[in-house]
Amino acid sequence: MIPLADDAITRDDKALILAYDHGLEHGPVDFADVPASADPETVFDVATHDAVTALAVQKGIAEAYYPSYEDDITLLAKLNGTSNMWMGEPDSAVNWSVENAAELGADAIGFTLYGGSNNEVEMAEEFRQAQEAARDHDMGVVMWSYPRGQGLKNDTSASTIAYASRLGLELGADITKIKYPGSADAMKWACDVAGKSKVVMSGGSKASDRDFLETVETAMNAGASGLAVGRNVFQRENPTALLDGLEQVIFEDKTTEEALSVMSSTETDRVDATSD
Amino acid sequence: MIPLADDAITRDDKALILAYDHGLEHGPVDFADVPASADPETVFDVATHDAVTALAVQKGIAEAYYPSYEDDITLLAKLNGTSNMWMGEPDSAVNWSVENAAELGADAIGFTLYGGSNNEVEMAEEFRQAQEAARDHDMGVVMWSYPRGQGLKNDTSASTIAYASRLGLELGADITKIKYPGSADAMKWACDVAGKSKVVMSGGSKASDRDFLETVETAMNAGASGLAVGRNVFQRENPTALLDGLEQVIFEDKTTEEALSVMSSTETDRVDATSD
Amino acid sequence: MIPLADDAITRDDKALILAYDHGLEHGPVDFADVPASADPETVFDVATHDAVTALAVQKGIAEAYYPSYEDDITLLAKLNGTSNMWMGEPDSAVNWSVENAAELGADAIGFTLYGGSNNEVEMAEEFRQAQEAARDHDMGVVMWSYPRGQGLKNDTSASTIAYASRLGLELGADITKIKYPGSADAMKWACDVAGKSKVVMSGGSKASDRDFLETVETAMNAGASGLAVGRNVFQRENPTALLDGLEQVIFEDKTTEEALSVMSSTETDRVDATSD
Amino acid sequence: MIPLADDAITRDDKALILAYDHGLEHGPVDFADVPASADPETVFDVATHDAVTALAVQKGIAEAYYPSYEDDITLLAKLNGTSNMWMGEPDSAVNWSVENAAELGADAIGFTLYGGSNNEVEMAEEFRQAQEAARDHDMGVVMWSYPRGQGLKNDTSASTIAYASRLGLELGADITKIKYPGSADAMKWACDVAGKSKVVMSGGSKASDRDFLETVETAMNAGASGLAVGRNVFQRENPTALLDGLEQVIFEDKTTEEALSVMSSTETDRVDATSD
Amino acid sequence: MIPLADDAITRDDKALILAYDHGLEHGPVDFADVPASADPETVFDVATHDAVTALAVQKGIAEAYYPSYEDDITLLAKLNGTSNMWMGEPDSAVNWSVENAAELGADAIGFTLYGGSNNEVEMAEEFRQAQEAARDHDMGVVMWSYPRGQGLKNDTSASTIAYASRLGLELGADITKIKYPGSADAMKWACDVAGKSKVVMSGGSKASDRDFLETVETAMNAGASGLAVGRNVFQRENPTALLDGLEQVIFEDKTTEEALSVMSSTETDRVDATSD
């Protein structure tokens, strides 16, 4: 039994998880604006950036692409997920067993829990099985904690998001991914009630570099341990630059201003390099 | 097969169980009045008091905090529980397997049964599995017996509470936690029909020291074997003083008056000590 | 494979089963008229009478009380049962595994089937598992065959009760407990269609000694193999006397008149003995 | 893996299955006209006739009666079945495991599938488990293929009955029992689409000897491999005579006329023998 | 773990799967126009054509017919399927275990997923079990990805079909069978988002040789890896000729014109041979 076994997917107790399960959860329309992002190789390449502590994908993607990247990427096996073609009360199919994920080389599991859904009880019991199997394999456990369903009126209120992060602690996640609740105070509450477990902010909808970095900086100052992000990184024109910036804010304790200046110098460096 | 295997969580056949699963069952709002109570360490510290015979928490809390306290605290693994974001017919997810709880060092299991719920049959069958697994591991079994659901009109009537404690005996609990049914006679009925199994009173809503101790004294005189309590202890300004008082009433057969006088002398002692 | 493995719970192919699961099925109100009957020890003492071939209880009662009586009582493990707080379509939780019952020393299992309930299919499949596990442990199998549910208009008609006893034969019970269908002819039909399996009459609501013995005598003459009885015995002022009488009718082929005369002489003997 | 492992329950690739599960499916009222047929021994005696290639019963009947007949009868374990007290969408409880049936000496399994029922998916999956377990035990597989349920308007139309027999082939039955679809052409269609698997006609409602034999003759000429029959045999005054006649039609390729003449000579022989 | 283990059912990374499960999915009426197609042997003979890389059938068909063809045909075990007599929300029974399919000699499994159905979550979890078991047996995995159900308005729109093929990649299929979405562009989108996994077009409703080949040619040019086809082949007057043509388009990179000319020369050859 190794509680808080998240070493493999953190650096200095911080995490930057690149999540790439949009093809399952939203379908290919999510890639329409940036067609290259439909190709897993594009995203795996992005994930080799030093700032990325883990890449979260579904089983099929891992089977087909991870073997070529296993030296450069830490695999976070996102075990459950469902298409949005289905319109019922929030639920998520368990598409991957922990045993299979471990064989494929995953270092941690990811699992969505829709607290407040009519399927909460069943999902929590599926999480129990996955969490305990992960412990048996010394794998870290990340919960996507997204309150949602008919019992829920406002799923980003401060108390709902604090409840979401507390569920991660109570049920045995090492890291809990929550939505940003809209303010530093609300984020601090959510981080405080998570106790020794870690909280990462989800990337949310697309924003400018500055706005995005500022939100991340606020979250870090409020006690977050990092970020789990998808399109906000891999659908940028220059994902590497943004990852450079995020690295400053998340791992180097830098401000947004400092991060932006690092980003522009890097881009300049590259332009120089290219123009050579 | 070791019937009534509750030695580990009782002292002289009496029990004072500190329950701390509010973060799961009610969410962080439960800690809002006393923010420090959101931190499991605060509550684990309280639970090191000699009067506390066991601390009941969910798996995630146990994984993260129990290892540092395992010499000073007896762990009661609360196996099931559910958020109150979900609004359906009463049910409870099984979040922890007995095997995992035993590995973590738990000496007993706790399990909620909502008698009268449409989910009673399923919950009773989950309890069977947990109870029999606990027997195989020589662990005590505590039932949170809370009649609740559409088949039930009044869940604190004398006959309902007596039924609740009888369910504990019939289904194989060593100790059954029930709500105080409002009178000494009703409590005596509930304790009588539990036969050789033990009954503990749940702490209920916050009350003054005197009122609370008087209710506990009444329950003990009616045949109860102790108390399972949460916020009424760990959200007090001085939990230690109240635990001193409860120790007198539960384990030393003292009256409320005697207990209160012990409490004030202790507080005085401490004040003295502090002012030294 | 030992078909009809009921030797342990019969004497000369006859059975008198004392059933004591009222605390689960009806709750403590069932004991209100005779409060001592809430105490399992009172009933276990009654069950030591030579006429009683088996005592049927739930797991928790067996765990707590059977060890002290194992030399004097044959244990029939009543595996399923449910509180009457729950108001849905008839169903019954499986509260006890056969393996656990065997370890505790039970010689037979008891299982309720609500034929005609929307849960009939599920209950029959649970019965299959229990019945086959019982065969593996050489334990007898008793079915409480109680047609009940939305598909059923009259649950004590001759054809329904005959169906109930036939279900016991078809599905693999050694002994099937049915309600008395109201007439000798209907009872004979029910016993005839049970073939080689045995039929016992359930005790029903409280009646006078003579009325009760006469019904039992009629049932025995119609082909029944005995009786499964609860309150009609253990809530009498003098259970021993009635058991003396039932012994005559069930095992000694005596008439009600003969049984009553034995009963009064015994009582006289006792009175004499007491007055000595 | 032994496909089409039906040798044990056929003779020259033909089958005459005596089915006796009426006590479960319809209840004792089915025996009311011929009370002796309620006694399994009566039917087991009939099943010792050379023409009968297998006797299909439920587990309880097999446990109690088959051991005395195991040298003279081939046992077909009818695994599922349900009382008609229950009024819901067609379903059938699995009352017998293949392992248990094999231990008891069964040579084949029988399984009902209600194609078109809302429970079709679940029943087909239960059939899968039974069929594959039967293969592991080298047991033959007979499907009772009875389209029925809310999705079905006419359950004896030619296309529905042809679908029923095709389901047997597709899902892995060696022999599929279907209702007679009312004409030689429709029967031929049903037999053709069953490919290498065999089709047997179900006995249907009671008919005169001649009418019954003529239907069987028509079915055999249309490609059927025999008959699965119950009351039409064991509730006759002289089941042996009818079995003599069926033997001619099914196994000796004789016409109804020829079979009837054999039947009367046999009866005459017997009368002679008796009158000696 | 062998990702993309589809070698056994492809040739030069292309596939032509002959699917024959119409007897289960649609019933014998599907064979009415070409009665010979009801006989599995007819279709197995067609499947011996060199162009066919695998034959997909249900368990019962495989058990009865595959042993005679195992040297000439590659078996694709279609694990799930359901009759169309049942009218509920799209679902499919798992009729065959991977273990049993492997024992029978299958080289790959086929599995239907109805994305968007209320049963999507359950079907995806059944797929997980089958997919992981197939990996353990080094068997290829083919998904029939057919979005269907109450959550779905238009199941052949470009985005739905692209979603269908992406589901195959995300969930771990080596090959995903989709419906032709109506245009080369839409087909290209569907093939692009499938990444390293392969896409095959389903045969659809009957068309002329030229129309059919043209659609296949378009699909191949759009990135498809082949075809899964049923009636469009085995219900033709001359399936061999069409397979000759498909072989040109799929494996030899030929145009429809070129394929048609090969087809007519082959037919001429045969006519010549016959007329000799």
Band of pLDDT at residue A206, cut at 50, 70 and 90: confident
pLDDT value of residue D264: 85
Of the partner residues A28, A35, A100, the one whose CB lies closest to the CB of residue E159: A28
What residues does E55 pair with on adjacent strands? E18, E75
Strand partners, A143: A111, A176
**Which chains neighbour B (Cβ–Cβ under 8 Å, 3 or more pairs)?**
A, C
B104-137 pLDDT, tens digit per residue, is: 999 999 999 999 999 999 999 999 999 999 999 9
Neighbours of chain D (3+ CB pairs under 8 A): C, E
- Does residue B185 sit at the C interface (CB-CB below 8 Å)? no
- Average pLDDT of chain E is 93
* Residue A177: predicted pLDDT: 98
Q: Is E159 on the interface with A (CB under 8 A)?
A: yes
| pLDDT digits 0-9 by tens, D114-143 | 999 999 999 999 999 999 999 999 999 999
Element (H, E) at E232: helix E231-234
Average predicted confidence (pLDDT) for chain A: 93
Q: Which residue out of D69, D146, D163, D180 is catalytically annotated? A: D146
pLDDT band at B275, cuts 50/70/90? very low
Position C205 pLDDT exceeds 90: no
pLDDT at B5: 64
- Inform me whether the pLDDT recorded for B1 exceeds 60: no
Q: Does residue D55 have a pLDDT over 60?
A: yes
Beta-carbon pairs below 8 A across chains B and C: 118
Higher pLDDT, residue D266 or C265: C265
Any C CB within 8 A of B153 CB:
no
Please give the radius of gyration of chain C, using alpha carbons only, rounded to the nearest integer: 18
Contact check, Cβ <8 Å, A169/B61: yes
Domains of chain A in sequence order: 7-238 (3.20.20.70)
Instruction: Chain C: give the shortest CA distance to residue D20, in Å.
Output: 10
Q: Which residues of D touch E97 (CB under 8 A)?
A: 128, 132
At B12 the pLDDT is 96
Contact E163 A60 (CB under 8 A): no
At residue C264 the predicted structure's pLDDT band, cuts being 50, 70 and 90, is confident
Contact E121 A24 (CB under 8 A): no
Per-residue pLDDT band for D107 (boundaries 50, 70, 90) equals: very high
Percent of chain B with pLDDT over 90: 86
Model-level pTM? 0.95
Residue-wise pLDDT for B178-194, tens only, equals 999 999 999 999 999 99
Cβ of residue A223 closer than 8 Å to a chain B Cβ: no
- CA B59/CA A128 separation, integer angstroms: 9
Task: Quick: pLDDT tens for D235-265.
Answer: 998 999 999 999 999 999 999 999 999 998 8
Binding-face residues of E in 48-77 toward A, CB within 8 A: none
Q: What is the mean pLDDT of residues B206-232?
A: 95
% residues pLDDT > 70 (chain D): 93
Average pLDDT over residues C152-163: 88
Cβ <8 Å between D61 and C128: no
Question: Of B6, B111, B121, which to mutate for an interface test with C (greatest number of C Cβ within 10 Å)?
Answer: B121
The confidence score (pLDDT) of residue A154 equals 67
Would the CB atoms of C160 and D85 count as touching at under 8 Å? yes
User: Per residue in E65-101, is it b (16+ CB within 10 Å) or e — as a string?
Assistant: bbeebeeebbbbbbbbbbbebbebebbbbbbbbbebb
Query: What percentage of residues in chain E have a pLDDT greater than 70?
Result: 93
DSSP designation for E77? E
Would an 8 Å CB–CB cutoff place B147 in contact with chain C?
Answer: yes
- In this model, does residue A183 exceed pLDDT 50? yes
- Mean predicted confidence (pLDDT) in E239-268: 92
Model confidence over D139-189: pLDDT tens digits?
999 999 999 998 786 688 999 999 999 999 999 999 999 999 999 999 999
Contact partners for chain E, using 3 or more CB pairs closer than 8 A, are A, D
Structure confidence at residue C273 (pLDDT):
40
As a whole number, mean pLDDT of residues C19-24 equals: 97
Do residues B59 and A171 touch, judged by C-beta distance below 8 A? yes
Q: Which of C183, C184, C180 is nearest to C200 (CA)?
A: C180
Quick one: pLDDT at residue D111? 98
Mean pLDDT of E197-222: 94
pLDDT at C188: 98
Q: How far is E37 from chain D (nearest CA, A)?
A: 9
Q: How far apart are CA D127 and CA A14, in angstroms?
A: 52
Q: Are D151 and E103 in contact (CB < 8 Å)?
A: no
3-class secondary structure per residue, A189-250: HHHHCCCCCEEEEECCCCCCHHHHHHHHHHHHHCCCCEEEECHHHHCCCCHHHHHHHHHHHH
Query: For tokens 């870090």, what's the residue?
Result: A220
Assess contact for E25 and E193: CB atoms under 8 A. Answer: no
- Give me the mean pLDDT over the E82-105 stretch: 96
Indicate the pLDDT class of residue B268, thresholds 50, 70 and 90: low
Within chain C, how many helices (H) and strands (E) appear?
11, 10
Give the whole-angstrom CA distance, residue B146 versus residue B113. Answer: 6
Instruction: With cut-offs at 50, 70 and 90, classify the pLDDT of residue E130.
Output: very high
**Which has the minimum average pLDDT: A57-71, A193-207, D32-46, D105-119?**
A193-207
Chain E residue numbers touching A24 (CB-CB < 8 A) = 166-167, 170-171
Q: Kindly report the average pLDDT of chain D as a whole number.
A: 93
CA distances B110 to B62, B135, D18, Å, are 13, 13, 54
Catalytic residue status for C196: no
Going by their DSSP bridges, the two strands C198-202 and B226-229 should be labelled as: unpaired
Residue E114 has pLDDT above 70, yes or no: yes
- Cross-chain Cβ contact E61/D170 below 8 Å: yes
pLDDT at C79: 98
Please report how the helices B158-171 and B120-136 are oriented relative to each other, as an axis angle in degrees rounded to 10: 40
**DSSP assigned state of C174:** S
pLDDT for A268: 55
- Segment C99-134, tens digit of pLDDT: 999 999 999 999 999 999 999 999 999 999 999 999
- DSSP letter, residue D212: H
> Would you tell me the crossing angle of helices E239-251 and E256-275 to the nearest 10 degrees?
140
What gap in Å lies between CA E166 and CA E2, rounded to an integer? 20
Q: Which of B228, B210, B208, B190 is nearest to B112 (CA)?
A: B228
Q: For the segment C40-51, what is each residue's pLDDT rounded down to a tens digit?
A: 999 999 999 999
